[in-house]
Amino acid sequence: MTDTSQSQFTTRPPSTLAESAFVSLYGWVYEHSPWVAHQLYERGITEALDTPANLADAMAAVVNGAVDRDKLALLRAHPDLAGKLALADLTASSQSEQTGAGLDQCSADELARFTELNDQYKQKFGFPFIFAVKGFHRTDILAAFERRVKNDVETEFNEAINQVHRIARLRLEAL
């Protein structure tokens, strides 16, 4: 049963698309990781996936079922937040998300702290800090960064995957 309270996609419903069209429309939802859309399509796209929430859950299940090596590659595909070149070298979605959180307006001190934390974080965890920034201000993000850099590797790996899922869900809802 489809939840009719969910907003419908502005494009054709996912269940009506050929694989190439499906991957073209949804392959970007997980940053530089079209394999998620490919694998979901191979599992079968039914009318049940024609809502953003259901499609987000199905895509998350693909990621959650992946081997850790593929999850790590997914995490490493994400850009630094407010890093040295971060805002210049982003996908359109990431640039819009970071700009919306004010990360393009960091003071010199904030930018220096983000850069320092990005370096510490990547050295400790082996992937960039990931935070679904929509609805947050840069000061909130910086505070979360300060807390999360102290996590152990397993906790932070799981948190980063959860943040990636939130980003994907927000992107699908925006369609």
Per-residue pLDDT of 48-94, as tens digits, reads: 999 999 999 999 999 999 999 999 999 999 988 775 444 455 566 66
**What's the whole-number mean pLDDT along residues 159-163?**
98
What does residue 51 show for φ and ψ, rounded to 5 degrees?
A: -115, 150
Please state, in angstroms and as integers, the Cα–Cα distance from residue 38 to each residue in 43, 93, 125, 127, following that order: 9, 20, 28, 23
pLDDT, position 108: 86
Q: Which of 77-81, 103-107, 108-112, 126-130 is least confident?
A: 103-107
* pLDDT beyond 80 at 111: yes
Model pTM score: 0.85
For the chain, the average pLDDT equals 87
* pLDDT beyond 60 at 132: yes
CA dist 96 and 90 (Å) reads: 9
Closest CA to 149 of 101, 64, 87, 141: 141
Residues forming the active site: 78
CA dist 53 and 51 (Å) reads: 6
CA dist 175 and 24 (Å) reads: 14
